[in-house]
Amino acid sequence: MPHERFRFKSLEELLAKAEELGVELPVQRDLSPLARQVSIGGKLTPNALGIHPMEGCDGTTEGKPGELTVRRYLRFARGGAGLLWFEATAIVPEGRANPHQLLLVPENAAEFAALREQALNAGREVNGPDYEPFTVLQITHSGRYSRPVDKPAPIIAHHDGILDKVQGLPEDYPLISDEELDRLQDRYLEAARLVYQCGFDGVDIKSCHRYLISELLAAHTRPGRYGGSFENRTRLLREVVARIREELPELRITIRLNVYDGHPYPWGWGVSKEDPRVPDLREPLKLIGILQKLGVSLINVTAGNPYYTPHINRPFDQNVIGGYIPDEHPLEGVARMIWLARQVKEAYPDLVVVGSGYSWLRHYFPQVAAAVIQRGWADIVALGRGAFAYPDFARDILQKGKLDPRRTCITCSRCTQIMRDHGPTGCVVFDKEVYGPIYREGRRRHRA
């Protein structure tokens, strides 16, 4: 169905569109499932709403949280969500996605601990002394999308017939070696130690969005110990998880995982070999079963590539400037994300499952999220872009029983645009005093 912008005046109109599209969209007016506490590795969240990892590209050049980073997490914590997922944080300098990405190395650890503490204190001031959200820090290597200084410096796990061309990589561009991947395992372990020391409840070994581990999962054409077979492609993630579990038994392990790339075989993961538009979840589900046995307590289900197929990852009204118009309705994208998480939850009922990709639903998000949780299709539902726009969405849902339609994210992609223009990002529409000038400056620089 053709792409359309959000223009629904009632829940009934939204449901009618879902029916017209032939997609399943559960809704209910009883929002009480969103107030449920969820046990993650024995620790209870205050409610079933979360904030996804959202990179602000606003760390210092050394990779410590900057002023805007601190501001973001204070706002998030004041909002009262039960799960606060701290953004993509690089484990090595060469794996940073931009020169202002956070970097978790021993020299920066004290600032990460302080960031978490300050956020929780701010959260308690507003939500009461008992407010104790579950905190996760996402650790990452940006792989193909590394840009540690001022120009791209891709570190690739395998050649990709599409992405290599998009990025202008020659056929003989070198692959990261097996030995370097072995050494990276040690870096992941060191970073996990720091996550633990900084007081986070969980670590997330980022395995999504075509960054390094996500690319490895699809490394069908790579020779050696990290490519080819399922066992080899999943090696880095499995071995890192096993080593963290062994050394840090008290640190909960979570994984933000692409279960579907929407990218053609032999470069895609979770896709039908014949048609990348069709998910084939056999391998992702097999991996999740293994990860659960290794001690992973939570999977945050995501999909797509934010650089190449952003409509899969984050259904939108408007793409970044010059971006394509998707050949599907955004509601089909939202329904796909709901369906993907449901497949994981139904296969592994004991695993905590977090759902993604809901921001396009605007003020109907709570009704859909409540129905998803009520049906047991996910345990926690979180917002990404929606949290930039409306950081206290969780409190409004839980206390007022609704969201203010004048404050919800309009999925205009300007937050992504700032990132593409290499600026520190946030909501240009609803936090415009801070991000309006940054957006305009980025556009001006781009044109110059």
Residue from 14, 23, 34, 54 touching ligand FMN (CB under 6 A): that is 54
384 belongs to the binding site for ligand FMN (CB under 6 A): yes
One-letter amino acid of 13: E
312 belongs to the binding site for ligand FMN (CB under 6 A): no
Q: Tell me the β-bridge partners of 302.
A: 258
Least separation in angstroms between residue 47's CB and ligand FMN is: 17
Residue ranges with strand state E in 293-415: 296-303, 352-355, 380-383
386 belongs to the binding site for ligand FMN (CB under 6 A): yes
Per-state percent for the chain, helix, strand, coil, to nearest 5: 40, 15, 45
Sign of CA dihedral 354, 200, 207, 98: positive
State which residue, 87 or 111, has the beta carbon closest to ligand FMN: 87
75 belongs to the binding site for ligand FMN (CB under 6 A): no
Residue from 64, 193, 385, 414 touching ligand FMN (CB under 6 A): that is 385
Site string for ligand FMN, 218-257 (x = CB under 6 A): --------------------------------------x-
Q: Where are the alpha helices (DSSP H) in 248-381?
A: 282-293, 310-313, 330-347, 365-374
State which residue, 127 or 425, has the beta carbon closest to ligand FMN: 425
CA distance 280 to 169: 29
356 belongs to the binding site for ligand FMN (CB under 6 A): yes
DSSP 207: B
Considering only residues 205 to 224 of the shown chain, the ones binding ligand FMN according to CB under 6 A are: 206, 208
Pair type for strands 102-103 and 83-90: parallel
With 0-12 / 13-18 / 19 or more C-beta atoms within 10 angstroms meaning exposed / middle / buried, residue 433 is exposed
CB 213 within 8 A of CB 206: yes
Site string for ligand FMN, 413-442 (x = CB under 6 A): --xx--x-----x-----------------
Q: How far is CA 346 from the centre of its chain?
A: 21
Site string for ligand FMN, 104-143 (x = CB under 6 A): ----------------------------------x-----
* 163: enclosing H helix or E strand: helix 163-167
Stretch near ligand FMN under the rule CB under 6 A, chosen from 50-58, 62-70, 161-169, 434-442:
50-58
Residue from 383, 389, 394, 428 touching ligand FMN (CB under 6 A): that is 383
Query: What residues make contact with ligand FMN under the rule CB under 6 A?
Result: 52-55, 87-88, 138, 206, 208, 256, 302, 313-314, 356-359, 383-386, 415-416, 419, 425
